[in-house]
Amino acid sequence: MAWRSSGATNRELIENLSRNNLIKSPAVKEAFLKVDRAHYAPRSPYQDTPQSIGHRATISAPHMHAAAAEKLLPFATPSPARPAPRVLDVGSGSGYLTHVLAELGAATVVGLEHIRELRDLGEANMQRSEEGQGLLDSGRVRFVVGDGRKGWDDGEGEGWDAIHVGAAAREVHGELLGQLRAPGRMFIPVEEEGGMVGSMFGVWIRMGRGG
């Protein structure tokens, strides 16, 4: 149904993703409605297709971002057991999903890029809306440069409740996985044999007390 989900406006795109059951939960739908994809996609922002954003990177198709948000929702949303969720977005690119994850209610969202120009792009895109600028000003969202395979240590030593990885990988690097809290969840595209990614993804869940 992804190919039928495009729209003429941001609301129409999100409504079509919801109608086609690609967005399932009200919380995820509300978060996506708050973030205008036109601030992040360089052209035809309401088409359900990936787009190049330069530096051999893309902004994923909206249905892929929806799948990630749905899978990470229980770990990115405040709850009695997890009152201040921490989320790491590896390969944050345009910053679109980084913003959406913050709108889910996460207390801290860090967008991690290995290319400074992409790190700057994500931050600049968020600054295009009053809501995005507010999240940056509050410190709830920030963008950094680093090696995603090693995750990100922000000095608090607390790890991450949810980790999104935007680039396909043949393996999950131990240093990154070691930063996932227990319980915690990682969403990562899976590279199939032959180098094909398609719509495949993996979800790693680290269980622990209360998991």
Residue 112 lies in a domain: yes
State the pLDDT confidence band at 189, using cuts at 50, 70 and 90: confident
Residue 120 lies in a domain: yes
The pLDDT of residue 207: 61
The pLDDT of residue 174: 87
Residue 175 lies in a domain: yes
CA dist 16 and 194 (Å) reads 32
Q: What's the structural domain count of the chain? A: 1
Taking 60 as the threshold, does the pLDDT of residue 200 lie above it?
no
State the pLDDT confidence band at 196, using cuts at 50, 70 and 90: very low
State the pLDDT confidence band at 145, using cuts at 50, 70 and 90: very high
Q: What sign results for the dihedral spanned by CA atoms 79, 128, 65, 112?
A: negative
Report how far Cα 182 is from the mean position of its chain's Cα atoms. Answer: 20
- More reliable by pLDDT, 131 or 195: 131
Residue 102 lies in a domain: yes
Largest Cα span, the chain? 46
Which residues sit opposite 189 in a β-bridge?
201
Residue 133 lies in a domain: yes
Asked if 87 and 77 touch (Cβ cutoff 8 Å), the reply is: no
Taking 70 as the threshold, does the pLDDT of residue 16 lie above it?
yes
State the pLDDT confidence band at 197, using cuts at 50, 70 and 90: very low
Instruction: State what percent of residues in the chain have pLDDT above 90.
Output: 78
The pLDDT of residue 39: 98
Structure-block tokens of residue 148: 């995603």
Residue 123 lies in a domain: yes
Instruction: Give mean pLDDT, residues 145-158.
Output: 88
pTM: 0.91
Taking 80 as the threshold, does the pLDDT of residue 192 lie above it?
no
Cβ-based neighbours of 129, under 8 Å, separated by 6 or more: 35, 36, 39
Mean pLDDT of the chain: 89
Q: What is the residue whose two structure tokens read 């994850």?
A: 101
CA dist 204 and 192 (Å) reads 17
Taking only the tens place, the pLDDT of each residue in 165-182 is 987 666 678 899 899 998
Taking only the tens place, the pLDDT of each residue in 47-82 is 999 999 999 999 999 999 999 999 999 999 999 989
Residues with catalytic annotation?
60
Residue 155 lies in a domain: yes
Instruction: Give mean pLDDT, residues 102-127.
Output: 98
The pLDDT of residue 169: 66
Residue 106 lies in a domain: yes
| CATH at 193 | 3.40.50.150
Which residues form the domain of 73? Answer: 61-206
